[in-house]
Amino acid sequence: SNTTYYLRKDGNDDNDGLSEEFAFATWDRMHKELRTIDGAGYFLVINLGAGIWENRFDFDGRECIGFIGIQLEGQGDSTVIAQVNNHGIFIGHSSVYVFIRNLKISGAKFAIYSQLGGEVNINGPITITGVERCIFAYFGGFVHLSNGATLTIADNPSCTLVIGTHYGAFFETAAGTSVVLTGTNAGTQFARVQWNAQINIQPGTTLSGTFTGKKYTVSHGGLLGLNGITLPGTVAGTSVAPGFVG
């Protein structure tokens, strides 16, 4: 059946994880549980408590079997995924559908990384700070910013917001979503898309704040759909054929 698991800093890995009172204490224990559950068409919620979680939150379709979707939700900016020099949230293989909201991701090399059929749906507020690459969609990975969701990019002094690279990789915003840049955000480019990947900014997306660097780089058959929306950046974007900007 549809199930909610709880992780709390004061939990215990000997618990069953099925209530706040009997929460797990670590992501390693939750990840072990994921590998034993037969999802069989069910939706799973992982409720992550306040505190700093120094883990790579890894969802692999070869291990997460049968789920309609997995919701990872925190308690707002008090829930921090801090994985230095690695991936904050990693989704890959075999059509894993992971929804994330009410989290802060800090210090990671890649805040959100999706590949090989994995899909990430940001369906609530997410803050990303102090990372090198905010969103990375690679080789069939898909990242979607859902209607009504807000992605806050705060103080990333050397980063690229979104990268789509290699065949079938896709990043898309929905109408009614917001991308808010606060503090100091800078890098080589705000967006990069290449090797037949796509980035699509839908009409009705709101982008606010400033970025120091190029607006975009498009090359090697990449497709950047702006739909009349201007990306942040202090330098004009560039597109090299057969890349396309529309």
Please write the tens of the pLDDT for every residue from 54-107: 988 999 877 777 788 899 999 999 999 997 778 898 888 766 789 999 999 998
Separation of alpha carbons 194 and 201, rounded Å: 16
Q: Please classify residue 218 by burial: count the beta carbons closer than 10 Å to its beta carbon, then call 0-12 exposed, 13-18 middle and 19+ buried.
A: buried
Average pLDDT over residues 12-32: 97
Neighbours of 238 (CB within 10 A): 14
Residue 161, judged by CB atoms within 10 A of its CB (0-12, 13-18, 19+), counts as buried
Of 150, 138, 139, 82, nearest in space to 113 by CA: 138
DSSP SS3 for 31: helix
pLDDT tens for each residue of 161-195: 888 877 778 999 999 999 999 999 999 999 999 99
**Angle subtended at Cα 185 by Cα 181 and Cα 191, rounded to the nearest 5 degrees:** 80
Global pTM?
0.95
How confident is the model at residue 94, as a pLDDT? Answer: 64
**Share above pLDDT 70 across residues of the chain, in percent, rounded to a whole number:** 98
CA of 214: how far to CAs of 22, 133, 244, in Å? 49, 15, 16
pLDDT tens-digit readout, 181-240:
999 999 999 999 999 999 999 999 999 999 999 999 999 999 999 999 999 999 999 999
